[in-house]
Structure 1
C-alpha cells in the first residue's frame, strides 16, 4: 500500500434521508489538497461553514457521533468517515445541504461505492502516522466498555460485543487489514433493539428510520400497541418477527453483522483522531462514547508525537552510510568525527546516529565523576549530520567542506551520558542557495529530544595546492 496521501479523482454525490433528522440531504464528496483531512461543509447555511472531522469537536454520542463547531453541527458522521478510511482516502471535502449525511441502508456500502465510482488518486505528500509503540487503554467505568491499542505494522481492529440478550448473544469481528474493509465490513448495517427503538420513537428521534436501513432485534414482546407504533413510523401495513428474532423481512448480510457494524463504527469514530494509525485496536463492548473518548486519548498521543518529531527508524537496519562511507564524504576524523552511521537520506532530510560510549575522550575531563557529553559537541554532531545532507548531493564531495556560520535557538533538554544512543534528524528549512544551507536539527535519545538547534552553514570548495 502506498505511503503517499490520497484523494478522490472527481466529485461524487449521493442523496437520501438523515436517520435522526429525517431530512432530505444531498452529500457531495469532493477532492481536497494534501493535509486537508476530512472537512464537512454545510452548504445550507450562510457562508458555507466548515467543520473538520476532529475528535475535539465531538459534543454528543447518543445513537451516533455529533460534531459541533461554532454552533454548526454534523450528526451521525461515523459511517461516512469509516467509508473514507476504508477506501484509503486521506483528504476530502464533504458538502451537505443538511446537518446529517444520508443513512442509505444503515451501512457504509453506498459511500464506498460512490468513492470507488469517483476514483482515487495519489497525491504528492507523504502520509503521517500515529505509530503505536506502547499499549494505550481506555475503560468506561460505568459500562465496562474498553478499548485498547497495541503495536502493529498494520491498522487492525477487533470488536467483541455482548448485549446480555438471548436474541443477539455474544459476537466478535476482526479486520486484519484496512484493504479488506469493502468486502468484510462496509455492508454491515446499523442495528437496534426493540426496546431502544420504542424509546427513540417516543423521543422524536430516528425520523428517517425505515425497516430497510436498520436491523431491529426483538428483545421484548411485540405488543399490539408497539406494533401499531412501528407500522405508523415505518409506513408499513404489517410488522412481523422472523424466526431469527429480527423484525420484519430484513435478511442479515452476515451472521455476526452486529459485531461487524460495531467495528465499522470504531473505524469511523477513530477517523476523528486526524491521522492514519499503525496499531491493533481491541474493542470490548464499543460504543460512540467510549470510541470517541479513546480517540481523544490517541489524538493527544499524536500531538505529542508530532511535537517531538521523533523519527520512526530501525537503528539496526542496514545504514545508508556506515563509518567508512561517512569518512569518504566528510573530512572529519576521530576523535572529532561525531556520527557513526547514516540511517536515512533524502534531498531534504537526513537521519544520523552516534553511540555514546564511556571511552569517549571528552568524558575524561568533562564532569569525570558524572560523565556528560558536552553540549557544544552535540551541536557539532548535528552540524556534521547536516554536512552529510549537503555533501551527499555533490558528485565530488571530497573537494568540498561545510562550515558553520550561524547557530540559533539552541536548546539542551537533558543530559547525554555513556550508554545513550543519539539519533540526529536534520531537515532543510529552505532550499540550498549559493552554497548557504539553512537547517533545523534535533537530537533524540529514545523518545526524548535532548538537543535542538537552527543551523546555518556554508558549502565551500577546498583549497587544493
Structure 2
C-alpha cells in the first residue's frame, strides 16, 4: 500500500569530505550534491571515464563480507552503509554522492561526520510528494545457517530495533531501538563500527583494513593477546603501546554508550535497508543482523513492494455514480468515438486518476485484430491509459477545453494479460513529479479482471489549442 505522505527532500548546497577508505587505505574525496525529485540515492564515480552512476539498489549488492558492496557494469562501491544511513536518518530522499575512489571515507567508523556535513549543506524541501510504502502485514526473512532474522510489521512510523548476541563474554547480548528517525542524529549516528580481535588479525594477514586505526573501529578482545599479535597491532595501528581496557576493548577509545555495538548494528540496518529504494513505514525488528541478512531482506521487501504496487487494483464502488461519465469526459478531452477510449472517471485528485472502459465486441479494431480471435491491441490500451491521464493533466489548467495533450515519450511498457470483448479495463495513473511548463510524467496501470494487464511510464505535454 502506498501513501503520498509529505514532501521529498534534498540538500541545498554541495559539501565535500576527505578521508581514508577503511579497506583500501586510499585517500578519497566524497562530495554530496543536490539531486532532482525522484532521483533517490545515487553514487557517482568521478575518477572513472564517463563518471558512471551506481544507484543504491539491493539488486546491485555483490558482496557483504566487510560491508555492503555494490557493483553495476563492473563498477564498484564499497562499504556504502554508513553514508546511506546518514541520508536516511536525516530523511533526505534525493542525493548524488560523488566519489573519486571505490569506497567512502571511514571517518570515525560511524555516520556522525556525514550527518554534520549534510546538515551544513542544509536539508531542503522539494516540490514533489514523498512516496511512502505503508506496511500492512508482517514480512520476514531468516538466514537458517546463522539464525539471523529480520521482520517488519505495521507501525505509525519507521522504527527499528536491533538485537545482537555474539556469544562472547566481552560482548554479550545488546539491544538498541529508535521509535522515530528524528532520534537518529543524537542516538545512533555516532555509534562506531567494531570488530573482534580474531577478525582484525585475519584482515591484517590478508592485507585488508589498511585505513583502519584505533580511532575508527572499536576492537573487542575475545582471545588472549600474544606478544606476536601485540607487535602486529602496534605496527598496523602505528602505536608505541597497545593494551586492553578492563571492559575488554583495545585502548585509545572510550565507548560512547555501553550498547554502542547494538547501536552501530542498528545504523547498519538503516543503511542497508536504504537499498530497498522506497521509503517505508513500519517497525523493523532485526535479530542478530548483518549485511548479508540485511540486504537479502532488502531484496525481498523491494520485490514485495513492486508486486504490491503492480497488483494494487483500484477498488471501485459501482453503487455510486462516477465523477464523470462519457459526456463529461468529452467536455475535457478532444477525442471522439471511435477513438475515445475511456468511458468513466471514478477518482480524480491532485496526483491520481482512476478511469474505466468497457470493452465490447462493437469496437471497430476487432474487425481486423484478429478475425475469429478478437484481442484489444496493446497500443490502444496504452492510448486509453494516456487519455485517462489526460484528464489528470488537464485538471491543472483552468480551461481544459482550450488545451490538448500530446505524447512525448513512453517508457517501460509491459503487457501482462490479453484484453478481449466483455472485459472491463480499469486505469490508474499517478503523477511522478509536479507538472512543470506543461510537461507531465505519469506511471500508468491498466487492470482487467483484478489483474495487471498493462503498465507504462507516460510523458506528455499540455499545449493550448489554436
For normalisation by structure 2, the TM-score amounts to 0.73
Question: Equivalent residues in 2 for 1:58-97 (5 A)?
Answer: 58-97=61-100
In structure 2, what is the equivalent of residue 279 of structure 1?
282
Contact 1:413/1:451 (CA < 8 Å) preserved in 2?
Answer: no
Instruction: Give, in whole Å, the separation in 1 of the partners of 2:143 and 2:77.
Output: 25
In structure 2, what is the equivalent of residue 345 of structure 1?
349
> Aligned to 1:101, which of 97, 101, 104?
104
In structure 2, what is the equivalent of residue 300 of structure 1?
303
Tell me the matched-pair count: 400
| Residue 163 (1) aligns with residue 173 (2) | no
CA-CA distance at 1:39 after TM superposition: 1.4
CA-CA distance at 1:113 after TM superposition: 0.5
> Aligned to 1:25, which of 19, 24, 28?
28
Instruction: Give, in whole Å, the separation in 2 of the partners of 1:12 and 1:387.
Output: 41
Contact 1:10/1:31 (CA < 8 Å) preserved in 2?
Answer: yes
> Aligned to 1:212, which of 210, 215, 218?
215
> Aligned to 1:48, which of 48, 51, 71?
51
| Residue 234 (1) aligns with residue 218 (2) | no
Flag the 1:113–1:439 CA change in 2: closer, same or farther, 3 A.
closer
| Residue 6 (1) aligns with residue 13 (2) | no
Flag the 1:453–1:45 CA change in 2: closer, same or farther, 3 A.
closer
Instruction: Give, in whole Å, the separation in 1 of the partners of 2:45 and 2:445.
Output: 42
Instruction: Give, in whole Å, the separation in 1 of the partners of 2:115 and 2:397.
Output: 48
Equivalent position SS for 1:127: strand
Equivalent position SS for 1:226: helix
Equivalent position SS for 1:254: coil
Flag the 1:388–1:29 CA change in 2: closer, same or farther, 3 A.
closer
In structure 2, what is the equivalent of residue 114 of structure 1?
117
CA-CA distance at 1:47 after TM superposition: 1.9
Backbone CA RMSD of aligned residues: 4.2
Equivalent position SS for 2:245: coil
Flag the 1:386–1:330 CA change in 2: closer, same or farther, 3 A.
farther
Deviations 1:394-421 (A, max 9, x none): 999xxxxxxxxxxxx996789x9xxxxx
In structure 2, what is the equivalent of residue 243 of structure 1?
246
CA-CA distance at 1:133 after TM superposition: 2.1
Deviations 1:164-200 (A, max 9, x none): 0011100011111112111111000000111111111
Gaps of 5+ in 2: 330-342, 357-380, 400-414, 436-441, 458-466
Flag the 1:426–1:112 CA change in 2: closer, same or farther, 3 A.
closer
Instruction: Give, in whole Å, the separation in 2 of the partners of 1:122 and 1:44.
Output: 30
In structure 2, what is the equivalent of residue 268 of structure 1?
271
| Residue 151 (1) aligns with residue 154 (2) | yes
